[in-house]
Amino acid sequence: MITKSKYPILEFDDNKTAKLNPTSFAHQSFETDKLIITFFPEVMDKLAEEGKIILERTIGGENPVLIYRFSNDDILITLGQVGSPACAGNLDLFHAMGITKVMFCGGGGVLDKNIEVGQVLVVDGAIRDEGFSYHYIEPSRYIYTNPETTENIVKYLENNSIPYIRGLTWTTDAMFRETADIIAQRKEEGAKIVEMEQAGCIAVSQFRGFAYGALIYGGDDVSQDEWSNRGWRSREGIRYDLVALCKRLVKIL
């Protein structure tokens, strides 16, 4: 049933079946239910060079998606695409192909200068400042990860003395519209990092009912008068280690 609204994005249909469903494209299921989505292409290249991942499958289309498998484990890994429609849309397809445990690792702009480059945020939820999630979960200001899944991640980090912070992200569609006033408002609401995928990915995991967790590391700084890159894309060691950590975490979701 459709909930009517003055604004199209707030009109929500709770019908689980659409005209076009991911199961229509899931012609062959994966042999594992575990997947890592990463935004670190250089880490993927290094893992391939080291022989630690091998190409499992190419999902064709105008923008083919390459799925790799770890050579020593039943875990898949793929490079995420920017924005909820691409990243979370693919996630819906992956679930239709048998994926039920997902760890996401990427970077995001910090809203607080005290969050250091490389500091890991365990995502508790997201401020829904995008459009994709509103087609999966009825309108709300916030969307949250599954508490049990997130607590499993936190427990592992604490048991292994891995430092972390936890909290909300701010998911936006428009990276060039992060104005000073909106940044200040999102920070006041509790967001620690801004990114472009979490609200959508969390919404898909809720709608389809599978385990999803995310680690976002502190990248560029959008909290100051002038934007600072902070060299966040060149932190190869941090990014490599974060993928290795997600490989361990996805097993306990």
pLDDT in tens, 133-164: 999 999 999 999 999 999 999 999 999 998 89
| Stretch 225-235: mean pLDDT | 44
Rounded to whole angstroms, the Cα distance separating 98 from 27 reads 11
The per-residue pLDDT of the chain, averaged, comes to 90
How do the domains of the chain map onto residue ranges?
29-252
Is pTM beyond 0.85 here? yes
Query: Which phi and psi (to 5°) does residue 97 adopt?
Result: -95, 10
Token pair in block for residue 24: 């229509």
pLDDT tens for 79-106 read: 999 999 999 999 999 999 999 999 999 9
Rounded to whole angstroms, the Cα distance separating 219 from 229 reads 7
191 beta partners: 168
Angle, CA 230 vertex, CA 225 and CA 234 arms, to 5°: 155
Q: What is the total residue count of the chain?
A: 253
For the chain, the maximum distance between any two Cα atoms, rounded to a whole number of angstroms, is 54
Q: Report yes or no: 107 and 176 within 8 Å, Cβ to Cβ.
A: no
pLDDT tens for 157-207 read: 999 998 899 999 999 999 999 899 999 999 999 999 999 999 999 999 999
Closest CA to 239 of 98, 74, 72, 39: 39
**Higher pLDDT among residues 217 and 89, named by residue:** 89
Q: How confident is the model at residue 41 (pLDDT cuts 50, 70, 90)?
A: very high
In sequence order, what E strands does 130-210 have? 142-144, 165-172, 191-195
Rounded to whole angstroms, the Cα distance separating 109 from 224 reads 11
List CB contacts of 47: < 8 A, sequence separation 6 or more.
53, 68, 77, 243
| Stretch 8-12: mean pLDDT | 91
Angle between helices 198-208 and 84-96 (to 10 degrees): 30
| Residue 222 confidence (pLDDT) | 44
| Stretch 5-13: mean pLDDT | 90
| Residue 236 confidence (pLDDT) | 58
Token pair in block for residue 41: 């292409």
What is the CB-side half-sphere exposure of residue 82 using CA atoms within 13 A?
7
Q: Are strands 101-110 and 191-195 parallel, antiparallel or unpaired?
A: antiparallel
Q: How many CB atoms lie within 10 A of CB 166?
A: 14
Fold of 29-252: Rossmann fold (3.40.50)
pLDDT tens for 30-39 read: 999 999 999 9
Rounded to whole angstroms, the Cα distance separating 192 from 184 reads 11
